[in-house]
Amino acid sequence: MKRTKAVRLPALPDATISEEGGLRYLHLETPWIQGAMRIRQPQKLELDYIQRMMAWMLLRDPAELPHTRSLQLGLGAAAITKYCHSVLRLPTTAVEINPQVIAACRNWFHLPDDDERLTVILGDAARYVNEDAHIASADALCVDLYDHEAASPVLDDEDFYRACWRVLDDGGIMTVNLFGRDASFERSASRISAAFGEGRVAMLKPTTEGNTIVLAWKGFDMPEREVLAQRAETLQTRWSLPARKWVKLLSTFTPAASSKT
């Protein structure tokens, strides 16, 4: 029998919990916040950038919203996963590589057990989006894949974003969390533009903390501003999401020639 060399996988950071002022925070061996939950309102989207990750709802035809299949790459504190599953009541899948994060979300952040609408997968996001079985399997894709050092996205090359494009069905939208004040932002956003096509990428202005949400979409043109404003009214009235603000913060992204590599 041929002997094979064992491959040592990098150790994943421990998930730790802190609480302050009625909020519970998830950390991965650093003071950086990986997610937050208001203890008395566990379904609420607490962090500003997490709320903005839901800006895909502005671009989704309201008639199609009840039929939206949502996918999250990176579980964090499960805020988006819980919101899509329990508030919007959408078919929801989340992919998370760290078993401690999944356990922490189940034990401390009110993530429910899997059911007919919820599937939480312990696995690698890059492998998931590259599997042929998942082509055109999602309509709303949220990507938040920073590691415990929060220096840059773990998956951030053009091939990865092309695989995300394949996972989306026509009419689908992806939101990606990037650090908008980091020097790598232009490069990352340009890779998204290369994968989805120019004219198919927009961004929200950075949050106070510097998070910039990039939106990319497949198979349609950006709706007119008036349409976005009408949808924002509905989102704000029905779900109390700050969608009017999103419309004001939204602008199209055009890659600089020097950032396309």
Segment 95-108, tens digit of pLDDT = 999 999 999 999 99
Check residue 207 and give left, alpha or beta (phi > 0: left; psi -120 to 50: alpha).
beta
Q: Which residues contact 127 (CB under 8 A, 6 or more apart)?
A: none
The band of 112, judged by pLDDT with boundaries at 50, 70 and 90, is very high
Residue 124 above 80 pLDDT?
yes
pLDDT the model gives residue 148: 44
φ and ψ at residue 99, rounded to 5 degrees: -65, -25
Average pLDDT in the 151-172 region?
A: 89
| In a domain? residue 34 | no
The least confident of 4-13, 128-137, 145-154, 238-247 is 4-13
pLDDT the model gives residue 167: 98
| In a domain? residue 24 | no
| In a domain? residue 41 | no
Q: What CATH number does the domain containing 184 carry? A: 3.40.50.150
- Number of structural domains, the chain? 1
pLDDT the model gives residue 26: 94
CA quadruple 188, 80, 98, 211: dihedral positive or negative?
A: positive
Q: Residue 142's domain spans which residues? A: 47-254
| In a domain? residue 82 | yes
What letter would DSSP give residue 153?
B
* Predicted model pTM: 0.91
- Answer yes or no: are the C-beta atoms of 52 and 246 closer than 8 Å: yes
Cα(74)–Cα(63) distance, rounded to whole angstroms?
28
| In a domain? residue 33 | no
Residue 2 above 70 pLDDT?
no
| In a domain? residue 152 | yes
**Other CB atoms within 10 Å distance of the CB of residue 94:** 27
Place of tokens 């997490």: 50
Cα(225)–Cα(141) distance, rounded to whole angstroms?
23
Residue 6 above 50 pLDDT?
no
Cα(130)–Cα(213) distance, rounded to whole angstroms?
23
Cα(25)–Cα(77) distance, rounded to whole angstroms?
8
Q: What does the longest C-alpha to C-alpha distance in the chain come to?
A: 68
| In a domain? residue 36 | no
Strand ranges for 97-231 from DSSP E: 118-122, 138-143, 168-179, 201-204, 211-217
Q: Which residues contact 197 (CB under 8 A, 6 or more apart)?
A: none
| In a domain? residue 58 | yes
pLDDT the model gives residue 9: 44
